[in-house]
Structure 1
Amino acid sequence: MRSVMAPYRQRGALLVLAAALAATSACTSSDDSNSEKGKAAKPTESVAPSKSAPPDPAEAAKTAALTAYKAYWTELPKAFAVPAIEGTDLKRYAAAEALSKAEVTVVNLKKNNRMMTGNPVVTNPTVTSAELEKKTPNVSISSCLDVSKWKITDKKTGKPAPVATNPVSRYVITSLLERWDGSWKVLKYELHADQPC
């Protein structure tokens, strides 16, 4: 990050320095009458307002995919807390294998009279690859998933259910998203318990 930001910091410092030099040179003239003549002789320049560059479509697509990915991780815990897909927006952000896995988990939780309490924490979601020119655009996202506060709970007792525990509760997760009819959806994901984060 340091190497990427360094040119911007240097450019910003140069701009500040240039502005300071221009301001001090305008104030250092000792002959007020000459400066007044100079002002009268020079026509007033009008500065056109600068137009911001149009947003990069590729960056906008990646941002939209990341937004959908975060929304998926907001809706998934809601479905597992009930447990039910209905009443959530999960189908808006998940499809194919990711939605199927969520539906199977909901069925299993109901069958065993359990639910999930707490929430997973997803940090540093990053687009690692993008194929935006394809007929069905897609991106891959990698992030760190922390499930330490997300527990399977017995609905009757409200106590944590006995389950096999994984010694690692924070690990890398990679996901594939595709854009269907203008909306990004998580299609599948892979947990990497061998890659703690």
Structure 2
Amino acid sequence: MTPPVSATPATPTPLNPAETAKAEALAAYKGYWTEMPKALAALAIEGTDLKRFAAADALSKAEVSVGGLKRDGQIMTGEPVVTDSTVTSAELEKKTPSVSVSSCLDISKWGIVDKQTGNPAPGASSPVSRYIVVSLLERWDGAWKVLRDELHPEKPC
């Protein structure tokens, strides 16, 4: 006769809270870069989840960009490619936890076109298509939000 098998479930190893926070921040950062092109293509923040992932300066700049594109009869087409996203610093013990994320932003397949003709907008191309972007995220009311992006076209990647 075989002895009975224990029905005690295996207890998962608890994750390191700091690593969990960083992973959540990176997920929000990915969401931000997923929603940003949608807003710039639709010429509206509404109808996207951008407000879920962006606040402060990042959201304000997105709203200004949408307004400028509308005014000029332009839209953004394609999508940026964001790679090598890494948390470069974290202050998780503060009252408002924050992290900085550095990535390589490839805008070679993301551009401004005339809404009527679909032709590239004059002067809309950039001499550098892959460069470093550094973003500040903070945790507000339990959710990570991108507050600010610093584009570094002088730092190709």
By the TM > 0.5 criterion, same fold? yes
- Matched residue count: 153
Which residue matches 2:49?
89
State the distance in 2 between where 1:90 and 1:50 align.
39
| Letter matched to residue 185 of structure 1 | K
Percent of residue pairs identical: 67
Q: CA deviation at 1:165?
A: 3.1
The match for 1:71 among 9, 25, 31 is 31
The match for 2:90 among 119, 130, 137 is 130
Which residue matches 1:146?
106
The match for 2:77 among 97, 102, 117 is 117
Q: Aligned ranges for residues 44-83 of structure 1 at < 5 Å? A: 51-83=11-43
Unaligned regions of 5+ residues in structure 1, if any?
1-43
Larger helix proportion, structure 1 or 2? 1
1 or 2 for the larger relative contact order (CA 8 Å, sep ≥6)? Answer: 2
- Give the secondary structure class of the aligned counterpart of 2:154: strand
State the distance in 2 between where 1:86 and 1:66 align.
23
Unaligned regions of 5+ residues in structure 2, if any?
none
RMSD between aligned residues: 1.6
Q: CA deviation at 1:167?
A: 1.7
Instruction: Answer yes or no: is 1:99 the counterpart of 2:59.
Output: yes
- The answer (yes or no) to whether the contact 2:44–2:66 under 8 Å persists in 1 is yes
Q: Give per-residue Cα distances to partners, 1:124-156, cap 9 Å, x unaligned.
A: 100000000000000000000000010101011
Q: CA deviation at 1:87?
A: 0.4
Q: CA deviation at 1:82?
A: 1.2
| Letter matched to residue 107 of structure 1 | G
Q: Aligned ranges for residues 18-29 of structure 1 at < 5 Å? A: none
Q: CA deviation at 1:52?
A: 3.6
- Give the secondary structure class of the aligned counterpart of 1:191: strand
Q: CA deviation at 1:159?
A: 1.3
- Return the index of the structure with the highest Cα Rg: 1
Change (3 A) 1:119 1:97: same
TM score, norm. by length of structure 1: 0.74
TM score, norm. by length of structure 2: 0.92
